[in-house]
Amino acid sequence: MATPQPGIFAQGTRTHRHLEFAIRPGVGADAIRAALAGLRQPAVSAGGANIVLGFNEAVWRMISLDPLPTALVGFPDIEGVPVTQCGLWVWCHGTGDDVLLDVARSVASALAAVATVQQEVTGFVYRDSRDLTGFIDGTENPPVEAAYHVATIPGGSPGAGGSFAITQRWVHRLDDFHALSIDEQEGVIGRTKADSIELPDERKPATAHIARVVIEDDGEELEIYRRSVPYGTVTEQGLLFVAFSADPSRFDRMLRRMFGVADGVHDRLTEFSTPVSGGAWFVPSLEALGDALG
């Protein structure tokens, strides 16, 4: 069985750095392979951080030697949802800001000949894994063992051990959100604020976040594995939404429901937060990465 990149599942890391890179025009497969091989140098890989590598479809097609997953797709095309797709996503996460800055700088320098940084987000675990709205984010995330199955393409299929991921930077309007009563805030999410207990149906509006993103197919809930982190300064705060799935159509279906594509019902969260970036990635198994990089 192919091995998923372990950083997808590694827990307990409070500092996260997300780098999205645009590939320089005219750069070929060999140059990209050589630059990525540089990420294996001790200065980068022994730095004490997890590193997860994701590729857009074109770049993975260019460098992969393994059969491509059948479902490779781009970011969902939905009105009002921006797509800022570029070539490469590097997610570094670890235990300290100092180490993470060193690692992220080494990554950027290893890739400098072939790619430029298009987006950089430094995220963190906020209190007890809360979003900056104050709500716990991750309550219904599958636990580790189940997460592995939710997130990775099963053995025997092309791309086995790999994962599909999306990254999306959301900018919050926290003052507006916090101006709501706690009761109303709970109605926006669909859970209680203090301890993340699901509201009973009679208290949960149809526009609640969890009412929009919980989708059942033949009685079975479609799951994704989320690794989002808050980010922020005093002038801008938000969430870097990060999710993995063995089946990328789930992202599309959830986002369509959040933005009311079929029924006009919007997730109320979208009144208080706006996506400003969107990227879709294939995160190959360690073996497929090894084959590609030689």
3-class secondary-structure state, position 30:
helix
Report if residue 135 touches ligand HEM, rule: CB under 6 A.
yes
Contact residue for ligand HEM among 209, 246, 280, 288 (CB under 6 A): 209
Active site residue 137: yes
Of 137, 195, 201, 218, the catalytic one is 137
Residue 148 sits at the vertex; the CA angle it makes with 143 and 151, to the nearest 5 degrees, is 105
Residue nearer to ligand HEM on the CB measure, 232 or 290: 232
- The HSE-up count of residue 70 (CA atoms within 13 Å, CB side) is 6
Residue 88 and residue 23: Cα distance in Å, rounded? Answer: 7
What does the block give as tokens for 57? 């479809």
Nearer to ligand HEM, 105 or 256 (CB): 256
What is the per-residue binding string for ligand HEM in 169-198, x denoting contact by CB under 6 A?
-x------------------x-x----x--
Distance CA 59, CA 66 (A): 13
**By the rule CB under 6 A, 138 interacts with ligand HEM:** yes
- The pair of three-digit structure tokens given for residue 1, joined into one six-digit string: 């069985």
- Quick count: other Cβ atoms within 10 Å of Cβ 92? 26
**For residues 20 and 102, which CB has a smaller minimum distance to ligand HEM in the complex?**
20
**Which helix (H) or strand (E) covers residue 89, if one does?**
strand 88-94
The distance of closest approach from Cβ of residue 134 to ligand HEM in the complex, given in angstroms and rounded to an integer, is 9
Does residue 73 interact with ligand HEM by CB under 6 A? no
Indicate the residue among 108 and 199 with the shorter CB distance to ligand HEM. Answer: 199
| 241 lines the binding site for ligand HEM (CB under 6 A) | yes
Contact 280, 55 (CB under 8 A): no
User: What count of other Cβ atoms lies within 10 Å of the Cβ of residue 186?
Assistant: 21
Question: Which stretches of the chain bind ligand HEM, using CB under 6 A?
Answer: 131, 133, 135-141, 168, 170, 189, 191, 196, 209-210, 213-214, 224, 239, 241, 243, 251, 254-255, 269, 273
Which residue numbers are catalytic?
Answer: 137
